[in-house]
Amino acid sequence: MKKIIIIAAMLATSIAAQAADKEFTSRDKNNDGMLSVKEWIGSHKTSTEPEWVARRTKTHERLDKNSDGQISAEEWAARKG
Ligand SMILES: [Ca+2]
Ligand SMILES: [Ca+2]
């Protein structure tokens, strides 16, 4: 019985991981389950370049289907579809 519970827990975890994958969670710096424009642009060397910022802002707008300024896990998962 214990084994079944462990397997069920593992399955639930993998489903959650599918909704918000590694890239998503690593970008979500404040762990609120959403990617803001700032989180999407990131904080690396090129992140202050206007060209990068403009490009990333555009992608963010495209992925942000409901235009609330945040990319949700659902919007992230739907990005390929
Ligand atoms: Ca966030
Ligand atoms: Ca959104």
Q: Is there a contact between 40 and 28 (Cβ–Cβ < 8 Å)?
A: no
Which fold is adopted by the domain 2-80? Answer: Recoverin; domain 1 (1.10.238)
The rounded distance, in Å, linking the Cα atoms of 44 and 37 is 14
Amino acid at 43: S
pLDDT tens, residue by residue, 2-40: 787 777 777 776 666 565 689 999 999 999 999 999 999
Q: Write out the two tokens for 49.
A: 């370049």
Q: How far is the CA of 5 from the centre of ligand 2 (A)?
A: 34
- What is the predicted pLDDT for the residue at 75? 96
**Ion ligand 2: residue ranges with CB closer than 5 A:** 64, 66, 68, 70
- What is the predicted pLDDT for the residue at 5? 73
Cα-flanking dihedrals φ and ψ of residue 61, to 5°? Answer: -60, -40
pLDDT tens, residue by residue, 47-74: 899 999 999 999 999 999 999 999 999 9
- What is the predicted pLDDT for the residue at 19? 56
Q: How far is the CA of 35 from the centre of ligand 1 (A)?
A: 4
User: Comparing C-alpha atoms, which of 25, 43, 44 is closest to residue 35?
Assistant: 25
